[in-house]
């Protein structure tokens, strides 16, 4: 058995991603409980724009978190880990493209089905990353799967999805914080 110490840049990226994600998740919870956005697909208030703008740190923070965790694997997650990360990133890019188009056109559905497709792609990428994370045996065995499940529950479909609930993004923020804290607390023992 050998010990693998987390690299500084990888750890910093994971922490930064988790921090940005947590900030965005708290903002989404505030929207869920205290702010009313329009119920149509057309933007009618400042809250609609702010809610949409919060999607950028939400998605970018998550992708940075996954990039940092992948770097902590130091290649042990193999091609599956790389592919899972790339698929997750592609899904995140599609989500950001939809957010930008929504802001420009003042409409939630400006790019048609790209948002749900981007969400689905990011979910699939996280499942692949979770499998690679378990196989890499660098993080605790449950870290990758917990992050994937919390992304489905509190991620881009959140409280509007089949598994989401009001402020479900807070579950994602909590899981991300715990995974990063445990990943950085000291060397993980690997075979």
CA angle in degrees (0–180, nearest 5) for 91-20-70: 55
Question: What span, in angstroms and rounded, lies between the C-alpha atoms of 191 and 107?
Answer: 51
pLDDT in tens, 77-98: 999 999 999 999 999 999 999 9
pLDDT at 2: 41
Contacts for 104-109: CB closer than 8 Å, 24+ residues apart: 106/42, 106/43, 107/41, 107/42, 107/43, 108/41, 108/42, 108/43, 108/52, 109/41
pTM, rounded to two decimals: 0.88
Residues of the chain with pLDDT under 50: 1-3, 189-191
């Amino acid at each position: 058995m050998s010990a693998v110490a987390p690299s500084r840049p990888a750890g910093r990226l994971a922490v930064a991603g988790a921090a940005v994600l947590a900030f965005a998740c708290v903002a989404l919870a505030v929207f869920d409980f205290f702010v009313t956005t329009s119920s149509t697909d057309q933007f009618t208030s400042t809250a609609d724009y702010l809610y949409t703008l919060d999607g950028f740190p939400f998605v970018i923070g998550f992708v940075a978190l996954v990039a940092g965790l992948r770097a902590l694997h130091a290649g042990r997650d193999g091609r599956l880990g790389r592919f899972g990360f790339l698929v997750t990133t592609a899904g995140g890019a599609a989500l950001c493209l939809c957010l930008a188009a929504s802001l420009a056109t003042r409409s939630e559905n400006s790019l048609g089905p790209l948002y749900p497709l981007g969400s689905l792609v990011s979910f699939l990428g996280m499942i692949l990353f979770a499998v690679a994370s378990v196989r890499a045996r660098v993080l605790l065995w449950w870290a990758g799967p917990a992050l994937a499940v919390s992304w489905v529950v509190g991620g881009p479909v959140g409280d509007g999805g089949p598994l989401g609930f009001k402020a479900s993004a807070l579950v994602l923020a909590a899981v991300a914080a715990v995974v990063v804290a445990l990943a950085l607390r000291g060397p993980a023992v690997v075979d």
